[in-house]
Structure 1
């Protein structure tokens, strides 16, 4: 087992003494808490805390699940005597650094010579030639309660029981439903929309503080579909303009029923059987969106328009997968009669 935590490390020699309170409550040595100067003594005290925790199953200065203020932890570190069943930890956790194991002129050699390490071949150990008495399963979590796992742990394969699931559900505010959040992440729409810099390295206009405010009418939807692959070629320019006008008009409607009618009954949509199919598919998705597309969201809110744009995008993707080309792009087979129309 190798123990290392170099996040707050500083390189010094035996003749350089430091002063300053840096570390984690319950693992800082008394001399650090008291603001005294120190060299390597806090390192051996921290090792003693780790060894004690591995032997006893809890921190030396607070019981399992005990919640304490930092001041109380500091008091226990400096004043209280710990209870041991092994002498090794006792020598590393001495309050007086002059009596602490490893703090004399011998340093680490004194620690290696301790009876607790009797018979240890340090050369073979460092070379990895000694078989460990216990090899933990890398996929197992050795914790009595899954909630003991730290917030930033990367442990995989944790089995969450019903009690834990109920606990974690309390952190979900419900402001945006989880399925919708997941769907937006899976479509990766934000990767295309989150554009911060121009190719020349300058900020985009809407993020540049020196740019004057835009005079655009805020009541009109700023549809995100130009980012999602609409053709910019001259052959499809008119189709793209019509689509953009359609989505802008729909985004300012007040309910899903009106939106559905816009897609299925618009003169521009009924001229082509394939376009009618597009409207039916989109309308079907909008029916499921009714709880989300209320008056408040669709009036002027960008998140509501983003949800609408995403719904239309999904519908187009579904239709494109069943036909031979994207909507407005390649050829789409014509539909000869109403029965075939309803099947598609």
Structure 2
């Protein structure tokens, strides 16, 4: 139609059949010069064509110069900033902009990546502001652990005994329900532990109480006992739930020794039941997301008791913040 009439044509695709991006690109190949897309594909029903995927494909796959390289490299940052503003959890598997877009976990993949990253990455992740990630799972071999360590800034190439210990520890923990794919901070602490690093504080014990008062208000109270810098510290805290109370109690106990704790904030708390058939007796997996205002990290805890699992994740979250805060 455009060729016959000389009219300039545009395209606006919905994603009802998961073909919005493909149809948009096909329309461009057919002569369309105006495309309508939305950031991250947000839109009614199943959404629209994802602007970031369309632009990246036009520029990197179809050779159509439509955006400056420095602007294209902002893809990841802008995508996640918009998701944050819209209060929508980013799609980890989103093409180009997802945190898993360039993630690899199989041992064979990791071995090949050490030789040539282009063997498994269809583009240079940095061209869209993303990074290559190595996921550590029960499938992890030595290459996966070494690459993940390098990604985290830990050189494991000269310590094969540490690599072996980490591989064995990961496999043991994952058999119990742990998963480090989305918990890089807990994995880094595990590696540091195998390297001989000591924790900033040692937990002696903790407990929580949930009380319903006469006015109907439910309050959680926690007590923690820790040892840090040669001191035994005991403190309590209240919160709107057991985890919040534990967080407050721990901060009350050690904040004078570690004032940087004031910058740490828990931003998300996720609980997953691993054995639903066992009902309330099932093993639970807890993921905690934490930020210091500049960086974000995720830690994990696994236990039959959801509060115990939460404490494990909280303990790691605070330790990681202290480790990273000290350099």
Question: What TM-score results when the alignment is normalised by the length of structure 2?
Answer: 0.25
Looking at secondary structure, tell me which structure has more strand per residue: 2
Looking at secondary structure, tell me which structure has more helix per residue: 1
Question: What TM-score results when the alignment is normalised by the length of structure 1?
Answer: 0.24
Query: Which one has a bigger Cα radius of gyration?
Result: 1
